Amino acid sequence: MLRTIEATKDLLLGLAPWVPGHGRYGLDSLTTDELERAVRGPVTGARLHGHRVEIDSVGTTDRARLHLDWNDIGRSAGLPPTAFAKGTSSGLAPRGIVSGFGCHTYETRFFQQIQPAVEDLTIKPYLSRSGIGGRYVAAFEDIALRGTDGQNVTFYNADDECPLSHAEAMMDLLAKLHGRFWKSPRFSADLAWLETYSRRPGYPFMAQAFKLSERKFMAQDREVPDAVRRLTKAYVKNQPALVKVWEAMPQTLCHGDDHLGNTFANPDGTAGIYDWQVFHKQNGLRDVAYFLMHSVPTELRRTHEKALLERYLHGLAEHGAGAEALTLAEAYDTYRLLTIDGWIIIVFTLAAGGMQPDDRMEVTAVRAINTLVDLEVEQAISAALR
């Protein structure tokens, strides 16, 4: 009950046009002086004459590229001419969602406490701070600058076709992430605040939100197989029981939203990931299922699905799980079951509208529906509820 009250308060603060400390957050709160201190590091004498904010996109957060005007010392030292930033959404509904679900505080805590353990897998932060009502701001490296000698960073949109090489690199990334935090002792120490998804801020709203989303989504003019309609209703009806099933599984740190649009390929072909607003404790196969069903074209997934899953499991054993990592045969049913957790997010996003471009989400929805049918997830859900 207390969590519900707190989440409701945060949601209302997110919808408010102004909150105490409002001026310290958002893209327009960044000052040249603080960017100079955050970015220059040990380069003595480097000065930032000014910076310019170029809005990149608006969604759950407002995002921008920062153009940095260094003095001669800074330029000679190779300090970055650009950085990237995200901050408080200018949109009312997205700001309410971010606030009610604590996305802003979680991402700030990620950069402050967790990023050093996964710095090779993600982006370098310069600064991050959050306040009440979904207000926050973060600045970090412009990863496009990692490209050298004609080798560029590859960025993806959610509806792009993930190549096999990147899917393999993502299995390696997830294996490292999950292996490093496999049953981590930090979960009862400095990361004791980190919750499973069902105990994150705002989760009490989700049961009702999923019910409304399911009705709205299924009423839309789209082709949805009967099996997918049934399993969606089954999930919504039995969500608490299903959550207990997968939260009883061995836990690690999950990214939580690892679709293709939140990933990139480094010049050397390794994968990277960003947007850490919804990370939580859960079984790592949830991230694997989420990525493959959202991001990999259907025929590529059908051909390489088990090989990709096996690659992940081998990497997981190598990077922390050891003998506790499951075999492919042991993991396959869990993988099938956890696809439903990614599917309901697609249903919610399409029903809510405005969180992602609809045309991109339609491509994702088709991939996901094909996955649910191919893997006979309706049967997996039924078995889990027996």
Q: What is the mean pLDDT of residues 318-332?
A: 97
Taking only the tens place, the pLDDT of each residue in 331-382 is: 999 999 999 999 999 998 888 765 666 788 899 999 999 999 999 999 999 9
Helix axes 164-180, 298-316, angle to 10 degrees: 30
- Looking up residue 303, the CATH number of its domain turns out to be 3.90.1200.10
Which band of pLDDT confidence, cut at 50, 70 and 90, is reported for residue 220?
Answer: confident
Residue 234 and residue 207 share a domain: yes
Task: With H, G, I as helix, E, B as strand and everything else as coil, classify residue 157.
Answer: coil
Residue 236 and residue 128 share a domain: no
Residue 277 and residue 221 share a domain: yes
Residue 168 and residue 58 share a domain: no
Which band of pLDDT confidence, cut at 50, 70 and 90, is reported for residue 386?
Answer: confident
Last residue of a domain, one of 146, 165, 186: 146
Taking only the tens place, the pLDDT of each residue in 152-196 is: 999 999 999 999 999 999 999 999 999 999 999 999 999 999 999
The residue type found at 87 is G
Residue 171 and residue 87 share a domain: no
- For residues 30 and 101, what is the distance between their CA atoms, to the nearest angstrom? 24
Tokens standing for residue 372: 């649910």
- For residues 136 and 108, what is the distance between their CA atoms, to the nearest angstrom? 8
- For residues 8 and 343, what is the distance between their CA atoms, to the nearest angstrom? 26
Q: What is the per-residue pLDDT for 106?
A: 95
| Helix (H) or strand (E) run with residue 369 in it | helix 358-374
Residue 235 and residue 115 share a domain: no
Whether residue 1 is predicted with pLDDT greater than 70 in this model: the reply is no
Q: How many domains is the chain partitioned into structurally? A: 2
Last residue of a domain, one of 82, 113, 146: 146
Last residue of a domain, one of 89, 120, 146: 146
The residue type found at 181 is F
Closest CA to 352 of 140, 144, 157, 100: 100
**Structural domain boundaries, residue 48:** 2-146
Residue 164 and residue 123 share a domain: no
Global pTM reads 0.96
Range with lowest mean pLDDT among 111-115, 149-153, 335-339? 149-153
The residue type found at 115 is Q
Tokens standing for residue 357: 């471009």
Q: What is the mean pLDDT of residues 320-339?
A: 96
Neighbouring CB atoms inside 10 A of 167's CB total: 23
Residue 364 and residue 267 share a domain: yes
Residue 167 and residue 87 share a domain: no
Q: What is the mean pLDDT of residues 252-263?
A: 97
Residue 312 and residue 237 share a domain: yes
Q: Judge whether 331 and 285 are in contact, CB under 8 Å.
A: yes
How many angstroms separate the Cα of 369 from the Cα of each of 102, 165, 208, 242, 321? Answer: 29, 23, 23, 20, 31
- Burial-class residue 291 by CB neighbours within 10 Å (0-12, 13-18, 19+): buried
Residue 241 and residue 99 share a domain: no
Residue 272 and residue 351 share a domain: yes
The residue type found at 8 is T
